[in-house]
Homo-oligomer: A and B are copies of this chain.
Amino acid sequence: MSSLTEFLAAQQQLVDQALDRLTPPESALPETIHRAMRYSLFAGGKRIRPVLCLQAAVATSDNAPGALEAACSLEMIHTYSLIHDDLPALDNDDFRRGKPTNHKVFGEAMAILAGDALFTLAIQTLTRIDGLDAARKLALIEELSFASGTVEGMIGGQVTDIEGERQTPTAELLDRIHRAKTGALLRASVRMGAIAARGDTQQLEAISQYGEHVGLAFQIVDDILDVEESSAALGKTAGKDAVQGKITFPAVYGLEASRAMAQDECRKGHEALRIFGDRAVRLHEIADLIVDRKS
């Protein structure tokens, strides 16, 4: 069995090739929008959501038609949300992963439309999966669209986060923001893999638990890294989140308690995988990686 690093690199390559195949080429008219979509889609993302989706499918069965398309649709939605989040009216970020953000390269109008277009492409991608019955394709679309929506979904979390900058940080508000803003799509990632693999109710329930715990651990570690990186690299005591007045786990619970919470969520994630046995070995490794990562 290959090392996790080699394995993840191979999975990323698989996803990148599929994304390339599923996205209109730069030469398709009108060219600008397809260039803008591809710029952000291939800007060096780690493909966490697609890999979670693919591995949830592997844990569930040997045959998962459409798991790769589902994986790509998740990355398209994630990328659309990043493009819109980075806009001047929202987080106003000029750089992402060391590269100029979409609107810095293509202008605000094209960035807004490129985000819209990636959302549309995600849905189109799910409608045209080969070899999967209509009911399951529909279940995938339902899963993705509710995880992206305003009620306990990604857009709702984004709104609560923006409004939360003016509120007292409480555990309840933090929980609501996280579950919606990043949690819903991470949960949907593993559920969509299991749906494509024709998982039964018990498998779907178990994979949802895994997704929730690992999603929460992911967010806690993100918040911790923001504090630690800023302290180390910049000699400051507060990171970007604190400067923006964002509600974070370290701000609500403190650093030590946050670290313990991340470990605890990771442990619960492992437990949820029990019914999958050896088929879930990569999902176990990914849970550990999420908590132990340094960036």
- By a beta-carbon cutoff of 8 Å, the part of chain A in contact with chain B is 24, 28-30, 32-34, 37, 80, 84, 87, 89-90, 107-110, 112-113, 115-117, 119-121, 123-124, 127-128, 133-135, 137-138, 141-142, 145-146, 148-151, 153, 155-156, 158-160, 162-163, 176
Q: Which residues of B contact A162 (CB under 8 A)?
A: 109
Taking a contact as CB atoms under 8 Å apart, the answer to whether B150 and A123 are in contact is no
Partner among B90, B150, B176 whose Cβ is within 8 Å of the Cβ of A34 = B150
Taking a contact as CB atoms under 8 Å apart, the answer to whether B107 and A151 are in contact is no
Taking a contact as CB atoms under 8 Å apart, the answer to whether A112 and B110 are in contact is no
Taking a contact as CB atoms under 8 Å apart, the answer to whether A89 and B112 are in contact is yes
Q: A113-B155, A134-B137 are in contact. List 5 more A-B contacts (CB 8 A).
A: A30-B160, A89-B108, A90-B112, A137-B138, A138-B138
Q: Which residues of B contact A80 (CB under 8 A)?
A: 116
Q: Which residues of B contact A155 (CB under 8 A)?
A: 33, 113, 116-117, 120
Complex Cα spacing A117 to B155, Å? 7
Taking a contact as CB atoms under 8 Å apart, the answer to whether B148 and A120 are in contact is yes
19 contacts between A and B (CB under 8 A): A28-B151, A29-B151, A30-B159, A33-B159, A34-B150, A90-B109, A90-B112, A109-B162, A110-B159, A120-B145, A120-B148, A121-B150, A124-B142, A124-B146, A124-B149, A127-B141, A128-B142, A134-B138, A137-B138
* Given A113-B84, A156-B29: A107 touches B89 (CB 8 Å cut-off): yes
Taking a contact as CB atoms under 8 Å apart, the answer to whether A32 and B123 are in contact is no
Partner among B24, B110, B148 whose Cβ is within 8 Å of the Cβ of A151 = B24
